[in-house]
Amino acid sequence: MASVTNRRGPAATESGAAGEPMPERRRADARRSIAAILDAALASLNRSPEVNIVEIARAAGVGRVTLYGHFPTKEALVDAVVAEAITRADRALDAIDLDAGSAPTALARLAASSWHILNQHRQLMVAGQRHLGPQRLRAHHDRVMHRVQEVIARGQEGGDIRTDLPTDWLVATYYALLHAAADEVNAGRLDERQAGEAVAATMTAALRPS
């Protein structure tokens, strides 16, 4: 009857710490495999969003069967990878104190850090779009997005950020500029240092109260 494990993906899919047993004791080598797969998948998907499972398994130094033992479908794998990436980004961004200083300067600091992270995962987001659909990807993305939302809202209350446009639109502007900078750098039309300044300057101007 074969001993395929796979009771459920390696957790990670659900973000909420709802009342789930969750531990799912696994053997050490299994945990090692899962970590290797997640890492390899992140790197591979990020290099080109259309990698097949064979490639990912090979990059992880693991047999295809083993991979399917832990992730029932490709979609589940991509979902786990995106969740993992978002979690890492979330942790990195936690180090930033967003309550210090004015909202615009806080945003600038946030942008400076976000930018690197976003740039590292840019292709991954394309893969996410392809394999999970826009809604699911958006759901993941929102776990990080909320910071921007909050800082902008604070700035609007304090009079540091324009209130003649919807908060959601200003958030969208923030991300649009971030993505644009990443694209420009990747296309070789801008270097990393210029990108940071350009984003900060443009963002400041765009969000300033009229």
Partner DNA sequence: TGTAACTCGAACGCCTCTGTTCGACTTCTG
Partner DNA sequence: CAGAAGTCGAACAGAGGCGTTCGAGTTACA
- Positions touching DNA (CB under 7 A) are 1-5, 26-30, 32-33, 52-54, 61-66, 68-70, 72-75
- Helix or strand holding residue 85 (H, E): helix 74-94
Task: Provide the angle, in degrees to the nearest 10, between the axes of the packed helices 53-60 and 74-94.
Answer: 50
Pick from DNA, its own copies, none: which does 162 bind, CB < 5 to 8 A by kind?
Answer: its own copies
Q: Which is nearer to its own copies, 53 or 180 (CB)?
A: 180
According to the binding rule CB under 8 A, does residue 180 interact with its own copies? yes
End-to-end CA distance of the chain: 70
Identify whether the C-beta of residue 161 lies closer than 8 Å to the C-beta of residue 104. yes
Q: Which is nearer to its own copies, 94 or 168 (CB)?
A: 168
| Residues in 97-156 that interact with its own copies by CB under 8 A | 134, 138
According to the binding rule CB under 8 A, does residue 184 interact with its own copies? yes
According to the binding rule CB under 8 A, does residue 165 interact with its own copies? yes
The beta strands (E) that lie in 2-138 are given as none
Q: How far apart are CA 194 and CA 198, in angstroms?
A: 6
Q: How far apart are CA 7 and CA 140, in angstroms?
A: 23
Q: How far is the CB of 180 from its own copies (least distance, A)?
A: 4
Tokens 């908060």 identify what position? 167
Q: Within 13 Å of residue 168, how many CA atoms lie on the same side as its CB?
A: 1
Among 92, 179, 192, 196, which residue interacts with its own copies (rule: CB under 8 A)?
179
Q: Which is nearer to its own copies, 1 or 187 (CB)?
A: 187
Which parts of this chain interact with its own copies (CB under 8 A)?
Answer: 134, 138, 162, 164-166, 168-169, 172-173, 175-177, 179-181, 183-184, 187, 189-190, 194, 198, 201-202, 205-208, 210
